[in-house]
Structure 1
Amino acid sequence: MWLIRVVSKYRERVVIMYKVILENIVRLMNRKNLTQQELADKASISRVRVNQLLSQRRNFNPKLSTLVNIAQALDMDFIELSKRSPNLDLKFDNTRNFNEYRNIFIQNVKLKLIGKRAKSLSSYPGTSESGISELLSGKVLDPQLKTLVTIAEQLETTLSELFNRMEKL
């Protein structure tokens, strides 16, 4: 019974984060009068991928690169994309790309894990010790949203905090 509650709580948080990101994307698309095709063209992704993202399919799990490309296409600060009350006027930081965001995330997770092991994260449903180790070692080049949210939840922090460059967390 305990495991069912944990899995349910985990799924609920992933769905909530997905909805927050989706709402921010839709809000900006409306503000800029962009169609799905125009967003797809600007983000260099397929219209089908944009449609999957906007359709709120339960099984759709976007990759980090897709979300960064969309933020850049919308000229919105990527970190704001995952906030419940984003500052929609913050522009995309063109000095950062997908790899930079991924590396910042990894560095911040490593800082949070000082004195702990990746195994402590793998006790959460949907993650494995090897999967986390592969992400932290750079073997996973384009992590999926579900993985990022799971790690943030386990570290009791937010995605936006893990994507901000920090010296100490």
Structure 2
Amino acid sequence: MILGSSVPVSCWTYGSQCQSANTGDNVFPIVKQLGLFTTKCFPEGSLICEYSGRLLSLAQTLKARDRSYIMGGFGINCHIDAKYSFNVWGRYINDCKDTQRLNAKFVKDKKRRVARVVATRDIPAGSEVLASYGEVYWRSEERFSRFEYSGFNDYPDVSSA
């Protein structure tokens, strides 16, 4: 996803079939994974985008097979799942083991039930937006690293629970 571009991007898989995404004015190389890249500068402290999605209860969150797009921290029964929110730019942000490369952070707005993505330093045009997912995310990813994809029916019906 190219942030700051009004041209839709449809080529965001990696590998030999897709080495770059052409957005009209700019061509950015795709490096290994999906990501969010800027086409304009974002000064430190500025709002880059938001992370939003389907609201899940704790029971739905615990039963979800794929938790990779679920963000907590909004209350015990309020978790955001952006798995199928393809138009939400925040869902494309990657984390990075090298904390020196992080250039953004998620700021949770519990009242609106979204996370704002804010620049933690000046981000030049053409840069990938990188923000920490947090220790809890990585601990749960280790525990649930072998989930199975089940298509669009990932949300179990908890009304009978």
Judge same fold: TM > 0.5, yes or no: no
Normalising to structure 1: TM-score of the pair? 0.24
